[in-house]
Amino acid sequence: MANASNADKGIGDVKVEFRGFKKRFGSKLVHKDVSFKVRKGECLGLLGGSGAGKSVILRSMIGLEKPDEGQVLIDGVDIVPMKEQELIDVRKKVAYVFQNGALFDSMSVYENLAYPLRAHTKLTEDEIRRRIKEQLEEFGLEGNENVMPANLSGGMQKRVGLARSIILQPSVVLYDEPTAGLDPYNTIRIQEMILRLKTKGVTSVFVTHDMPSVFAVCDRIALLLEGRIQSIGTRAELETSTDSHLNRFVRGEEI
Ligand SMILES: Nc1ncnc2c1ncn2[C@@H]1O[C@H](COP(=O)(O)OP(=O)(O)O)[C@@H](O)[C@H]1O
Ligand SMILES: [Mg+2]
C-alpha cells in the first residue's frame, strides 16, 4: 500500500482531483488536507468511519459544498469558484446517487426517468421514450414504466433511483452508500449496474461500508481518516499492505 503522497504516480488520465481540500464545520476541522485523484474509467472506493467526511467530499464534487481552502478539479477545471449556472453543467456530467433513491412519489417510474431528460435536454418525447426503454432494459427494470414508487420494493426503488441518476449519461457517478440496507439480491444488482457503467468508461467514486461490494466493483480503495486520505491503493496492494489502519478498518476493527 502506497501512502497518499506517491500513490497516484502514473495512474493515467485524471478525471477528478482533490488538492489540499480543507473544510471546517463550526470549531471542527473535518477535512485537514484531502488530496487524491480518480482516473478516467476507474472506480475508487472511499472508506472511512461515520462522520469522517465522505459525503461532504462527494457533495463537493458537484458544488453542493465548498471547501474553505483547496481545489476540486473535474476534467482539470476547478469547480470551487463556479457559480450556480456553471455548476448546473457540472451536474450534467457528474451524477450523485442519493442514498434513498430520491424518487418523486407522485410520479410513475416512467415520469421519474423522463423528468431529468425534459429538464436538461432537447430530446423529443419519442427520443425520451426510446432512451427510457433502453435504460430500463439495460438494468433489468423493464415492464415497470407505469408503476408508482410506493408500489416498488425498497431494493427496486434504489435501482430505479440509480437508473434516473444516470439517465443523462454522466461521465462520473458518485455513489453514497448505495447498498446500505439492501438484501443480497438487490446489492448484487446494484454492483452489476456499477460494473456495466464502468465498461462504458464511466468514472465512479463509491462511498460505502459494504466491503464485498467494494471488492466487487472498485479498482482502488482510499481510506479517509482524521481529515486526510490516509492510504490509497489497489486491492492487491491492500492485501499485502502493512498499513495497519486500512487493514484494521477492513477487518472491522476500531481505528
Ligand atoms: N451541514 C453541516 N453542518 C454542520 N456540520 C456538518 C454538516 N455537514 C457535515 N457536517 C459535519 O462534518 C462531518 C462529516 O460529515 P459527512 O461528510 O456527512 O460524514 P460521513 O459521510 O463520512 O459519515 C460530520 O461529523 C458532521 O459533523
Ligand atoms: Mg455519509
pLDDT along the chain (255 residues), means of 10: 50 90 97 97 95 97 97 97 95 85 89 94 96 92 94 90 92 93 90 92 94 94 95 84 76 75
Asked if residues 220 and 44 have their Cβ atoms less than 8 Å apart, the reply is yes
Residue nearest atom 25 in ligand 1 by C-alpha distance: 51
Rounded Cα distance between 99 and 48, Å, is 17
Q: Is residue 131 part of a domain?
A: yes
Rounded Cα distance between 111 and 128, Å, is 10
Residue nearest atom 3 in ligand 1 by C-alpha distance: 25
- Among 22, 23, 25, 208, residue to substitute to test ligand 1 (most atoms within 8 Å of Cβ): 25
Q: Is residue 1 part of a domain?
A: no
Q: Is residue 8 part of a domain?
A: no
* H-run or E-run covering 222: strand 220-225
> How high is the pLDDT of residue 64?
96
Domain count, the chain: 1
Q: Is residue 81 part of a domain?
A: yes
> How high is the pLDDT of residue 239?
73
Grid cell in block for residue 10: 502514473
Find the domain containing 118 and state its range: 14-250
> How high is the pLDDT of residue 79?
98
pTM, two decimals, is 0.90
> How high is the pLDDT of residue 11?
57
In the chain, the largest separation of any two C-alpha atoms, in whole Å, equals 56
> How high is the pLDDT of residue 5?
46
> How high is the pLDDT of residue 6?
47
- Among 55, 65, 97, 175, residue to substitute to test ligand 1 (most atoms within 8 Å of Cβ): 55
Residue nearest atom 1 in ligand 1 by C-alpha distance: 25
Q: How far is the CA of 57 from the centre of ligand 1 (A)?
A: 10
Which residues face 38 on adjacent strands? 16
Residue nearest atom 14 in ligand 1 by C-alpha distance: 53
Q: How far is the CA of 57 from the centre of ligand 2 (A)?
A: 9
> How high is the pLDDT of residue 4?
47
